[in-house]
């Protein structure tokens, strides 16, 4: 089975969020299922630097403004197809944002080019390699099906929704510059509230839709979570499957992680906790050390933490945070750290530090208002760092709440709370502190978390079956 994955980012080459982790992990996970996946990426500087010995497999005289080519090769354990288009992608820093922190003005054309090339390779192949399925990720690959129509059709198509909040919308006046068929500017095409939406195009056009957890698949069909596309999702209900993400269990392995002091049990976490306190400048304390590793946005619910935090601190707990994003949230957490010795904050992102935070903490807080899947709670499970999560999306699907019944059966792995409010988070933190004081219960909770399956095996089988079904229909 030959599958072309079309993505705007892919770990470890370029990453801003969970989409990159999924795009980076799927090819290896699918190999065991007999799926040969190649990944099409924009030629950002980091990708171009990694793919230095590529061979040209396609050429375009005019790819949205200038000539371009597609280079094929291997990098970071991936079979890559890279769009060498300096006029679109040779820009430093974040793949979507300019130096001013705003979206690049030509982002609609930049990622339309990604979709255009993906469709072209689906129809014409890449150096003799012809995919049977095109698997696009999020709005950046949304126009693939529109372009396939213009090219006379091609392989089967799958679109995965990693976060429906990002719709890839722009004004209708860009129809020509995006090479779109004006006749498709309809409710059945890419029209979205009077404008153009790349995601809407993909949702309407792809033969199969997936999203990154079963609960999020159900949530997408409601006005609360559908971001204006809930009607589309209800219309395409039969095409939609929720396939839970996994994590890279080699990169996130507490027994072999080079960023930490390796361990395989609760006892082994103690050294990492002591080292983390020293690194973050935290004193000893009697309560649980909690961590947050997150983008600082409204979606992630971090504005609720300052209101709820006194409960944790009053029980002798601590907080160590790593993240960046909303300036107001950054300021609020900096202020907390300045006025309380039991709060430590690092603004920015540091991959190695994120591993040390999750290895050394007792619990990880993920108070998201909505979370398609979430990976940090799964990193927490893998490292015996008890997740405290909002009851939504993939958080609901990956954490077994420490209810009286689950504790009695000995199966609980974390704490869920609902609704996602400061009051409910206060209650969850109080429950956490009580569980932490009961050494026997806490030890069982940590052991359950570390034993919980968080890898890609089951999900890879589901994707492989989906591809096989689509290819068979063709």
Q: Residues forming the annotated binding site for ADP-alpha-D-glucose?
A: 15
Residue 183 near residue 125, CB atoms below 8 Å:
no
Tokens of 311: 């409960």
Tokens of 260: 């930490």
Residue 299 near residue 323, CB atoms below 8 Å:
no
Tokens of 347: 């603004």
3-state helix, strand, coil in the chain (%, to 5): 40, 20, 35
Residue with tokens 């300019």: 98
Beta pairing, strands 2-6 & 36-42: parallel
Binding site per annotation, positions: 15
What are the helix (H) ranges across 227-370?
230-235, 266-280, 305-314, 327-339, 351-360
- Round to whole Å and give the CA distance between 17 and 296: 12
- Round to whole Å and give the CA distance between 80 and 69: 13
Beta pairing, strands 2-6 & 133-137: parallel
């Amino acid at each position: 089975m030959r599958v072309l994955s079309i993505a705007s980012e892919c770990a470890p080459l370029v990453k801003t969020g969970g989409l990159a982790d999924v795009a980076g992990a799927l090819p290896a996970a699918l190999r065991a299922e007999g799926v040969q996946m190649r990944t099409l990426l924009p030629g950002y500087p980091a990708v171009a630097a990694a793919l230095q010995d590529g061979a040209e497999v396609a050429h375009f005289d005019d790819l949205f403004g200038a000539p371009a080519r597609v280079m094929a090769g291997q990098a970071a354990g991936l079979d890559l197809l890279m769009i060498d288009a300096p006029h679109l992608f040779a820009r430093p820093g974040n793949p979507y944002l300019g130096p001013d922190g705003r979206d690049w003005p030509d982002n609609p054309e930049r990622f339309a080019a990604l979709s255009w090339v993906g469709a072209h390779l689906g129809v014409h192949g890449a150096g003799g390699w012809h995919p049977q399925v095109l698997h696009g990720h999020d709005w950046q690959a949304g126009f693939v099906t529109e372009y396939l129509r213009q090219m006379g059709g091609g392989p089967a198509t799958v679109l995965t929704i990693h976060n429906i909040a990002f719709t890839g919308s722009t004004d209708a006046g860009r129809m020509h510059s995006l090479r779109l068929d004006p006749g498709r500017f309809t409710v059945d095409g890419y029209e979205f509230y009077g404008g153009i939406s790349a995601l809407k195009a993909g949702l309407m056009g792809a033969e199969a839709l997936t999203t990154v957890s079963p609960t999020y698949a159900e949530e997408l069909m409601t006005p609360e979570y559908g971001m204006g596309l809930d009607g589309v999702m209800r219309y395409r209900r039969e095409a939609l499957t929720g396939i839970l993400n996994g994590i890279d269990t080699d990169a996130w392995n507490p027994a072999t992680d080079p960023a930490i002091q390796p361990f395989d049990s609760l006892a082994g976490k103690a050294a990492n906790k002591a080292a983390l306190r020293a690194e973050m400048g935290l004193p000893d304390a009697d309560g649980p050390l909690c961590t947050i590793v997150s983008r600082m946005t409204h979606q992630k619910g971090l504005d609720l933490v300052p209101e709820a935090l006194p409960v944790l601190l009053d029980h002798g707990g601590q907080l160590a945070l790593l993240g960046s994003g909303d300036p107001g949230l950054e300021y609020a957490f900096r202020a907390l750290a300045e006025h309380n010795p039991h709060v430590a904050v690092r603004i920015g992102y540091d991959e190695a530090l994120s591993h040390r935070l999750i290895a050394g903490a007792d619990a990880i807080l993920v108070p998201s208002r909505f979370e398609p899947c979430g990976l940090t709670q799964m990193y927490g499970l893998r490292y015996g760092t008890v997740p405290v999560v909002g009851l939504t999306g993939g958080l609901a699907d990956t954490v077994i709440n420490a209810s009286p019944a689950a504790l009695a059966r000995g199966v609980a792995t974390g704490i869920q709370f609902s609704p996602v409010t400061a009051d409910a988070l206060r209650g969850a933190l109080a429950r956490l502190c009580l569980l932490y004081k009961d050494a026997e219960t806490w030890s069982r909770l940590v052991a359950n978390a570390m034993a919980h399956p968080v890898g890609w095996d089951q999900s890879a089988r589901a994707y492989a079956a989906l591809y096989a079904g689509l290819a068979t229909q063709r």
